[in-house]
Structure 1
Amino acid sequence: MFYFIPAWYQKQRPWYHTTELWFRTYERMTFDDTVNHYKIFEKAGEETCLLILNYQPQLRYTLHKQDMVGAIVWSLFDDIQNVHGQTMTPINFKHLKWPQGIRFVYSPFAIVAKQGQETYAVIHFAENGNLFYIETYSEKKTDKIYYFDDRGFLSSLIYYSDGVAQYQDYLNKNGVWQVRESLQGEFKISVNPNADQDFNQTEYRSWEKLIDERLRKFKVRNVTNRDIFISAADSQHNNLVLNVFAQNKKGFSFFGNRYQWQTNRDLISLFLQADLLIVDTQEQEKKLHHALIGAGFAKLLGKLSRISPFDTRLRLGHSQTVKELKIYFFIDTISEQELRTYLPAILDMMEENSAIHLELVNFRQDYDLKGLETYLKNLIWQNYTVEAFLKVADDGSENHIDESTKTKFSRLAINRYTNENQVITTLDTTRLVIDLGENPDLYTQIASISAGIPQINRVQTDYIDHMKNGWILSDGDDLRHPIHYYFDGLTNWNQSLVYAIEKMSDYTSGRILTQWKSVLNLGEG
Structure 2
Amino acid sequence: MIYFLTDWHIDRDNFESDAMLNTIKVLKHSNSQIINLQSAPFMHYLVNYFGLQSQNSFSDLLDVFLDVPSKNTTPTTLTDLKWLSKYEKYYTNKDVTFSNNGVVKGRVYFNQWGFVSQVEYISSNSREIDIYSHKGYVSSKNFYDAQGKKIKWQVYDEQGQVIFTEYPDCVIIAEAYGQKFSRDIYTNYGDLFLEMLSSVLSDFNPRTDRLIIDAKSPYVSEFLSIFPYLQSLVLIYSGQVNEFQAQLSEHFSVIKNVKQIMTDNVVLIDSIKQESSRQHQHVMKNVSYMPFYATSLNLGESNSTADQNIYWQINCLNTLQQESLAKLIAMKLEIPELCVIVDSESGSDRNVLNQIVSNFVSQYFEINLASDDYQLVKQYHEAQEAEEMTPMLREAYSNAKKDRAIFAQYIKAYLFKKGFSFRFDSNKQEKVMDFNITRVLVDSRDDNDYFSHALAVSAGIPIVSFQQSPYLINEKNGYIVQDSKQLIQTILQYVSDTDTWNQNLVASVDVIEMFGEDELSKKWREKLV
Q: TM-score range by the shorter chain?
A: 0.7 to 0.9
Specify the SS of the correspondent of 1:288: helix
Aligned match of 1:341:
323
Rg: which structure is higher?
2
Q: CA deviation at 1:296?
A: 1.8
Q: Residue 443 of structure 2 is aligned with which of 435, 440, 443?
A: 435
Q: How does 1:29-428 map to 2 (within 5 A)?
A: 31-42=17-28, 45-63=29-47, 67-70=51-54, 71-79=56-64, 83-85=68-70, 91-106=76-91, 110-126=95-111, 131-139=116-124, 141-162=125-146, 164-182=149-167, 184=168, 186=169, 188-195=170-177, 198-220=180-202, 225-234=207-216, 236-241=219-224, 243-246=226-229, 249-257=232-240, 258-261=243-246, 264=249, 266-272=251-257, 274-296=258-280, 298=282, 301-310=284-293, 316-320=298-302, 323=305, 324-335=307-318, 337-350=319-332, 355-365=337-347, 367-384=348-365, 391-393=377-379, 395-396=383-384, 400=400, 401=407, 410-417=418-425, 419-428=427-436
TM-score (norm 1): 0.79
Q: CA deviation at 1:177?
A: 1.9
TM-score (norm 2): 0.79
- Please tell me the residue identity of whatever aligns with 2:132: F
Map Cα deviations across residues 297-356 of structure 1 (whole Å, 9 max, x no partner). Answer: 62x6332210123255x7632344752432222343441x43443334434554555544
Q: CA deviation at 1:138?
A: 1.4
Specify the SS of the correspondent of 1:328: strand
List gaps (5 residues or longer) in structure 1: 9-16
The 1:431/1:403 distance shift into structure 2, 3 A limit, reads closer
Answer yes or no: is 1:19 the counterpart of 2:5: no
Q: CA deviation at 1:34?
A: 1.7
Aligned match of 2:485:
477
Q: CA deviation at 1:286?
A: 0.8
The 1:291/1:327 distance shift into structure 2, 3 A limit, reads same
Aligned match of 2:388:
none
Specify the SS of the correspondent of 2:182: coil
The 1:288/1:247 distance shift into structure 2, 3 A limit, reads closer
Q: In the aligned structure 2, how far is the partner of 1:192 from the partner of 1:55?
A: 18
The 1:58/1:191 distance shift into structure 2, 3 A limit, reads same
Answer yes or no: is 1:456 the counterpart of 2:437: no
Q: CA deviation at 1:86?
A: 8.8
Aligned match of 1:468:
476
Q: CA deviation at 1:150?
A: 4.0
1:83/1:173 contact within 8 Å kept: no
Q: In the aligned structure 2, how far is the partner of 1:301 from the partner of 1:444?
A: 30
Number of residue-to-residue matches in the alignment? 496
Map Cα deviations across residues 227-283 of structure 1 (whole Å, 9 max, x no partner). Answer: 1112222462244256335276222223222423365563212212x1222221221
Map Cα deviations across residues 69-114 of structure 1 (whole Å, 9 max, x no partner). Answer: 4432232132356644497955433431334432332468753222
Specify the SS of the correspondent of 2:62: helix
Q: In the aligned structure 2, how far is the partner of 1:504 from the partner of 1:238?
A: 35
Aligned match of 2:2:
2
Aligned match of 2:389:
none
1:434/1:455 contact within 8 Å kept: yes
Q: In the aligned structure 2, how far is the partner of 1:343 from the partner of 1:51?
A: 45
List gaps (5 residues or longer) in structure 2: 368-372, 385-393, 401-406
Q: In the aligned structure 1, how far is the partner of 2:226 from the partner of 2:521?
A: 25
Q: CA deviation at 1:4?
A: 1.9
2:88/2:99 contact within 8 Å kept: yes
Q: CA deviation at 1:217?
A: 2.8
- Please tell me the residue identity of whatever aligns with 1:250: L
1:81/1:170 contact within 8 Å kept: no
1:229/1:248 contact within 8 Å kept: no
| RMSD (Å) for aligned C-alpha atoms | 3.9
Q: CA deviation at 1:119?
A: 0.6
Aligned match of 2:387:
none
Q: CA deviation at 1:63?
A: 3.0
The 1:452/1:5 distance shift into structure 2, 3 A limit, reads farther
Map Cα deviations across residues 379-428 of structure 1 (whole Å, 9 max, x no partner). Answer: 22332598999942254467645899997964442233354443344234
Q: In the aligned structure 2, how far is the partner of 1:306 from the partner of 1:236?
A: 24
Q: In the aligned structure 2, how far is the partner of 1:488 from the partner of 1:353?
A: 8
Q: What percentage of residue pairs aligned between the two structures are identical?
A: 17
Map Cα deviations across residues 38-96 of structure 1 (whole Å, 9 max, x no partner). Answer: 22222xx3222222212222423553565544432232132356644497955433431
1:212/1:244 contact within 8 Å kept: no
